């Protein structure tokens, strides 16, 4: 029997479980379970060049708001997640920060920026 691998497609909320059928040399011989061509394309790309959007937090040194949530502006190669995390851990931020502000441009030359996903200081809800 040919080796198999299962990948969950994240192309839409259905989350199809796609079985990748490989030949004896490890080449993709077929896909089973993808409900659409978009899912097939996603799985083939995931096998070749898996990418992820990195989400993390940056310490602020502010007791009232100790961590600023951040994410990459684009999905980056999975192999670059660790170096980008290391770079993220070195970041120093100062208020004010608005959600969407660029914290690090072209982080580790990935082509993606590290951007804030929250305001600091945040809204007090007053007014
Ligand atoms: S294969 Fe198509 S239908 Fe299934 S989760 Fe992916 S995008 Fe959605």
| Mutation pick for ligand 1 pocket among 8, 10, 16, 19 (CB with most ligand atoms within 8 Å) | 16
Ligand 1 geometric centre to CA of 31 (Å)? 13
Q: Is the CB of residue 45 less than 8 Å from the CB of residue 34?
A: no
84 vs 49: CA distance, rounded Å: 17
In this predicted structure, the answer to whether residue 17 has a pLDDT above a threshold of 90 is yes
Each residue's pLDDT tens digit, 42-62: 999 999 999 999 999 999 999
What's the pLDDT band for 16 if we cut at 50, 70, 90? Answer: very high
Each residue's pLDDT tens digit, 58-104: 999 999 999 999 999 999 999 999 999 999 999 999 999 999 999 99
Report whether residue 14 contacts ligand 1, using a CB cutoff of 6 Å: yes
Report whether residue 12 contacts ligand 1, using a CB cutoff of 6 Å: yes
Atom of ligand 1 at shortest range from CA of 33: 1
| Mutation pick for ligand 1 pocket among 11, 42, 44, 45 (CB with most ligand atoms within 8 Å) | 11
Ligand 1 geometric centre to CA of 18 (Å)? 9
Per-residue pLDDT at 124: 60
Per-residue pLDDT at 56: 97
Fold category of 55-116 in CATH: CPE0013-like fold (3.10.530)
75 or 122, which is more confident? 75
Per-residue pLDDT at 127: 43
Q: Is the CB of residue 30 less than 8 Å from the CB of residue 21?
A: yes
58 vs 68: CA distance, rounded Å: 5
Report whether residue 10 contacts ligand 1, using a CB cutoff of 6 Å: no
- Mean pLDDT throughout 19-35? 93
**Average of per-residue pLDDT values in the chain:** 92
Distances (CA, A) of 111 to 58, 63, 71, 74, 122: 20, 33, 13, 8, 28
């Amino acid at each position: 029997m040919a080796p198999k691998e299962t990948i969950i497609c994240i192309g839409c909320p259905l989350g199809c479980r796609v079985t990748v059928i490989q030949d004896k040399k490890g080449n993709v011989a077929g896909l089973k379970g993808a409900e659409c061509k978009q899912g097939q394309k996603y799985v083939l790309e995931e096998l070749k060049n898996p990418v992820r959007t990195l989400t993390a937090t940056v310490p602020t040194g502010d007791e009232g708001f100790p961590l600023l949530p951040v994410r990459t502006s684009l999905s980056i190669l999975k192999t670059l997640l660790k170096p980008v995390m290391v770079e993220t851990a070195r970041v120093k931020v100062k208020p004010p920060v608005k959600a969407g502000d660029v914290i690090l441009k072209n982080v580790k030359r990935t082509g993606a920026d590290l951007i804030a996903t929250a305001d600091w200081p945040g809204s007090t809800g007053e007014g």
